Amino acid sequence: MSLILDVDHVGKTFVQGGLLSRREVEAVRDVSFSLDAERPEILSVVGESGSGKSTLAAMVLGRLVPTRGRILFEGGDVAAIRSRAGRRAFMARVQPVLQNPFEAFNPLKRVDRYLFATAANFVVGGGRTRAAIEERVDRALVEVGLTLAEVRGRFPHELSGGQLQRTAIARALIPEPRLLVADEPVSMVDASLRMAIVNLFGALRDRLGLSIIYITHDLATAYYISDRILIMRKGEVVERGAARAVLDNPQHPYSIALKQAVLTPDFG
């Protein structure tokens, strides 16, 4: 069995405050999980605000170095990738979708620059002509329900939250990565589109064999789409397992509280 991702007893401690009010925050403590290369899956990570989900995602993406433990991607230690070529090869295989679409693009720049840069930097072969790049960008945009014509030349504040998030997902798809780390990718979009994006994740998993780490607050979509789930609290995984089994019948008191706090659209 080969692992695409192996997170091995990982922890991260931040130091906050100045010299006088120095305070340590243990954002992630001793988290382990792995993703199997043969069985692409969607792994949901849910948990309270500040429980370290984004920190965990940043470590998987190689943006933060774990204080303890190791993260192996396709057998290699993510923190040990130093060379530029190595980083680039890694980024072509692991791509992020960020939390807040309003912050995910530089407000002073047009959004299409990120799409074109990604296509120009990562898509190898097939010619890097302007036309090929545009074609690739447009194809990715169409996959998320947009077109290049709609996005071209626009600044972030000229697009709605949902449009921005779909653009961000399209950008992440351009290098055809193995692993997508999506940090609350649907929190800004409406139910219908949310289902479209979540269904898109399912299709990417089934069609392209893409593994997806899906960080979310929305337990209903986690239930709907994911194969496994991790429930985090204060940096620790408090419960894990098959998504539906865990959410149908949560064991840990926090998981139970979480499920109870879900707002339902039902009256009665």
Partner 1 sequence: MFTIVRDLIRYNIEFAVGLFILLLLIAAVVLSFFSPYPAADIYVVPPDLPPDAEFWLGTTSRGQDTFWQLMIGLRNTLGFGVGVAFLSRILSLVVGLTAGYAGGRTDRVLMAINDSVMVIPQFPILVLFYFVLKDDMNWLMLVLILSALGWAYDARLIRSIAMSLRTRPFTTQSVYSGMSMRKILVEEHLPYVMPVVFATTMNNMIWSIGMEITLSVLGFTDVDTPTMGQMIYWANSHSALISGIWWWVAAPVGAIVILFIGLFLLSMSMNEYIDPRSRLNRMGV
Partner 2 sequence: MPTAVLQTPPAPAAAEPVLVVDRLRAYYRTHAFGLDRDIRAVDDISLTVAPGEVYGIAGESSSGKTTLIKTIVGAIRPPLAVVGGSVRFRFGGEIRDIYALTPAELQTIRWRHLSCILQGSMNVLNPVRQIRHSFQDFAFPHMGLKPAAFWQAVRAHLARLDLDPAVLDSYPHQLSGGMRQRTTIALATVCTPEFIVADEPTTALDVIVQRDVLTMLRDIQRRLGSSFLFVTHDMSVHATVSDRVGIVYAGRLVEEAETPTLFRGALHPYTQHLVASLPRIGDTTRRASLPGRPPSLADPPSGCRFHPRCPLAMDVCREKVPALVEAAPRHRVACFAVSGAPS
Ligand X SMILES: Nc1ncnc2c1ncn2[C@@H]1O[C@H](COP(=O)(O)OP(=O)(O)OP(=O)(O)O)[C@@H](O)[C@H]1O
The pair of structure tokens assigned to 245 is 């089994």
Q: 164-185: buried (b, 16+ CB within 10 Å) or exposed (e) per residue? A: bbbbbbbbbbbbebbbbbbbbb
Largest CA distance in the chain: 60
Query: Distance (Å, rounded) from C-alpha 173 to C-alpha 177?
Result: 7
Could you say whether residue 53 binds ligand X (CB under 6 A)? yes
Q: What is the DSSP string of 189-200?
A: S-HHHHHHHHHH
The DSSP bridge pattern shows strands 211-215 and 42-47 to be parallel
- Segment 28 to 87, residues that bind Mg ion, using CB under 5 A: 54
- Segment 193 to 252, residues that bind partner 1, using CB under 8 A: none
Could you say whether residue 220 binds ligand X (CB under 6 A)? no
Q: Which is nearer to partner 1, 73 or 114 (CB)?
A: 114
Polymer length in residues for the chain: 268
Q: How far is CA 26 from the centre of its chain?
A: 21
Q: What is the DSSP letter of 10?
A: E
Could you say whether residue 172 binds partner 1 (CB under 8 A)? yes
- Segment 130 to 189, residues that bind ligand X, using CB under 6 A: 157-163
Q: What is the DSSP letter of 92?
A: H
Site track 59-98 with partner 2 (rule: CB under 8 A), x = hit? ----------------------------------------
Query: Distance (Å, rounded) from C-alpha 117 to C-alpha 135?
Result: 13
Of the candidate spans 50-58, 68-76, 122-130, 206-214, the one that interacts with partner 2 by CB under 8 A turns out to be: 50-58
Q: What is the DSSP letter of 106?
A: -
Q: Which is nearer to ligand X, 44 or 54 (CB)?
A: 54
Could you say whether residue 241 binds ligand X (CB under 6 A)? no
Could you say whether residue 51 binds ligand X (CB under 6 A)? yes
From partner 2, ligand X, partner 1, none, interface partner of 211 (C-beta below 5 to 8 A by class): none
From ligand X, partner 1, Mg ion, none, interface partner of 260 (C-beta below 5 to 8 A by class): none
Could you say whether residue 211 binds ligand X (CB under 6 A)? no
The pair of structure tokens assigned to 40 is 């692409």
> Using CB under 8 A, which of 195, 234, 241, 252 touches partner 2?
195
Other C-beta atoms lying within 10 Å of the C-beta of residue 75:
10
Q: Which is nearer to partner 1, 79 or 220 (CB)?
A: 79
Four-CA torsion 148, 175, 114, 106, nearest 10 degrees: 120
Could you say whether residue 162 binds partner 2 (CB under 8 A)? yes
Element (H, E) at 8: strand 3-16
Could you say whether residue 9 binds partner 1 (CB under 8 A)? no
Residues that bind ligand X (CB under 6 A): 14, 16, 25, 27, 49-55, 157-163
Residues that bind partner 2 (CB under 8 A): 14, 16-17, 21, 23, 46-51, 54, 99-100, 102-103, 145-146, 150, 153, 158-163, 184, 187-193, 195-196, 199, 217, 219-221, 223-224, 244, 247-248, 257-268
